[in-house]
Amino acid sequence: MSVNGSGCPAGTADVSAGSTTFSVSYRAFVAHAGAGADAADSRKNCQLNLRVSLPPNHTYGLARTSYNGYAHLEPGATALHRINIYFQGSSNNTTLNFPFAGPMSDEWRSTYWPNPDDIVYSPCGGDRNLNINAELRVDLGTSDRAKRSFILAESSSGAVRTRHDFTTKPC
């Protein structure tokens, strides 16, 4: 598994994996705007690239994913947590948007838990990497530009934990 992006530079994300689940802890996945922040600070992403090895004639799909974090948004500011899920070489993808609006200073949670019939499975006939691209954005909107608004992914220990559960089936 690889983890990379502007929100998870080398050395700022830790991965733990089980047989059907994995978690990622982030230490730098934060987007912010206002109070002198650069334009590039307002959008951060972190892409997970997973290769799942399965027995011949099996496929897998993402059964659930959840993110936890914290946001401080001044009145008039907004934030967005976006998740884009797709298999390597496939134009079929799932995009999920979780918007937030200021004023807000609170924890947040984004969860994707599709019905079993709605799970998108990897193509049969070979291992395909699954890509999960998470993005955090902040827009100042009508808020006071001298005040900072931000959204970050975190856990109670100060790092965000992302859990992804998989399911498999025969082709």
CB 120 within 8 A of CB 61: yes
Whole-angstrom distance, CA of residue 81 vs CA of residue 102: 14
Fold entry, domain 2-156+166-170:
Jelly Rolls (2.60.120)
- In the chain (171 residues long), the average pLDDT of successive 10-residue segments reads 90 81 88 95 93 78 88 98 91 92 96 84 80 95 97 53 57 73
Query: What is the DSSP code string of 90-107?
Result: -S-EEEEEEEEESSEEEE
Q: Output the pLDDT for position 166.
A: 61
The residues spanned by each domain of the chain are 2-156+166-170
Among candidate residues 166, 140, 162, the one with its CA nearest the CA of residue 46: 162
Give me the residues paired with residue 25 across strands: 14, 161
